[in-house]
Amino acid sequence: MIRQQDLGDGVAALLYACDGALNTLDASLNRELGERIDALLADDGVKGIVIGSDKPDFIAGGDLKELQAAPDPASVVAIVAPFLAALRKIEKGGKPVVAALPGTALGGGLELALACHQRIAADNASARFGFPEATLGLMPGAGGTQRLPRLIGIAAAAPMLLDGTRLSLADAVTRKLIDQVVAPADLLETAKQWALANPGATQPWDRKGFAAPGFAVQSAAGRQFFAGAWARASRGAGASNLAARAILECLQQGMERSLEAGIVIETRQFARLAAGNDAKNKIRTLFNGVNRARSMTMRPSGPPPSTVGHLAVIGGGVMGRGIAHVAALAGLQVTLLDLSDEAARKSRDEIARNATREHEKGRLRMTPQALLSRIEPTADYARIAQADFVLEAVFERADVKQAVLERAAAVVGRDVPIASNTSTMPITGLAGYATMPERVIGLHFFSPVDRMPLVEVIRARQTSDATLARALDLMKQLGKTPVVVNDGLGFFTSRIVTTYSSETLNLIGEGVPPQLIDNAAVNAGFAIGGAALAELTTMPLLADILKSMRGDGQRIANAGNRAEPTLAALLALGRIGKAAGKGLYDYGPEGRAVWPGLALAFPPAGDPLDEETVRQRLFAVQSLEAVRALDDGILGQALDGDVAAVLGWGYPVHLGGVFGYIDRVGVPAFIAQCESLAARFGARFDPPRRLRDMAAAGQTFYPDEATR
Q: Provide the binding-site residues for ligand NAD, judged by CB under 6 A.
A: 314-320, 337-339, 343, 393-396, 400, 404, 421-423, 444-447
Q: Where are the alpha helices (DSSP H) in 338-436?
A: 341-360, 368-372, 398-411, 427-431
Comparing CB distances to ligand NAD, the nearer of 253 and 538 is 538
Q: Tell me the closest approach of the beta carbon of residue 390 to ligand NAD, in angstroms.
A: 12
Q: Are 605 and 562 in contact (CB under 8 A)?
A: no
For the beta carbon of residue 318, count every other beta carbon within 10 angstroms: 14
Q: Tell me the closest approach of the beta carbon of residue 447 to ligand NAD, in angstroms.
A: 3
**Number of residue whose CB is nearest ligand NAD:** 317
> CA torsion angle for 595, 597, 601, 606 (degrees, to 10)?
70
Q: Tell me the closest approach of the beta carbon of residue 646 to ligand NAD, in angstroms.
A: 17
Q: Tell me the closest approach of the beta carbon of residue 648 to ligand NAD, in angstroms.
A: 10
Q: Are 311 and 376 in contact (CB under 8 A)?
A: no
Q: Tell me the closest approach of the beta carbon of residue 344 to ligand NAD, in angstroms.
A: 8
Compute the Cα dihedral for 326, 329, 335, 338 and give only its sign: positive
What are the two backbone dihedrals, phi and then psi, of residue 69, each rounded to the nearest 5 degrees?
A: -85, -5
Comparing CB distances to ligand NAD, the nearer of 128 and 444 is 444
Among candidate residues 430, 439, 442, the one with its CA nearest the CA of residue 475:
442
Per DSSP bridges, beta strands 585-588 and 2-8 are unpaired
> CA torsion angle for 38, 42, 47, 53 (degrees, to 10)?
-20
Comparing CB distances to ligand NAD, the nearer of 412 and 638 is 412
- Residues contacting 409, CB < 8 A, separation 6+: 418, 433, 434, 435, 436
Q: Tell me the closest approach of the beta carbon of residue 285 to ligand NAD, in angstroms.
A: 21
- Residues contacting 67, CB < 8 A, separation 6+: 76, 79, 138, 274, 279, 283
Comparing CB distances to ligand NAD, the nearer of 290 and 390 is 390
Comparing CB distances to ligand NAD, the nearer of 210 and 395 is 395
Q: Where are the alpha helices (DSSP H) in 186-312?
A: 187-197, 220-234, 242-254, 259-275, 277-282, 290-294
Comparing CB distances to ligand NAD, the nearer of 444 and 459 is 444
Comparing CB distances to ligand NAD, the nearer of 445 and 701 is 445
Show the CA angle centred on residue 516, arms to residues 513 and 521, nearest 5°: 135
Q: Tell me the closest approach of the beta carbon of residue 665 to ligand NAD, in angstroms.
A: 30
Q: Tell me the closest approach of the beta carbon of residue 392 to ligand NAD, in angstroms.
A: 8
Comparing CB distances to ligand NAD, the nearer of 315 and 530 is 315
Q: Tell me the closest approach of the beta carbon of residue 310 to ligand NAD, in angstroms.
A: 18
Q: Tell me the closest approach of the beta carbon of residue 638 to ligand NAD, in angstroms.
A: 23
What's the CA gap between 17 and 59, in Å, rounded? 10
- Residues contacting 303, CB < 8 A, separation 6+: 465, 466, 469, 470
Among candidate residues 552, 558, 580, the one with its CA nearest the CA of residue 625:
558
Comparing CB distances to ligand NAD, the nearer of 212 and 391 is 391
What's the CA gap between 271 and 274, in Å, rounded? 5
Comparing CB distances to ligand NAD, the nearer of 147 and 348 is 348
Comparing CB distances to ligand NAD, the nearer of 164 and 648 is 648
Comparing CB distances to ligand NAD, the nearer of 445 and 585 is 445
Among candidate residues 519, 429, 421, the one with its CA nearest the CA of residue 471:
421
Q: Tell me the closest approach of the beta carbon of residue 558 to ligand NAD, in angstroms.
A: 21
Show the CA angle centred on residue 135, arms to residues 110 and 285, nearest 5°: 120
CA 585 from chain centre, in angstroms, equals 32
Q: Where are the alpha helices (DSSP H) in 595-653?
A: 597-601, 611-631, 638-649
Q: Tell me the closest approach of the beta carbon of residue 597 to ligand NAD, in angstroms.
A: 29
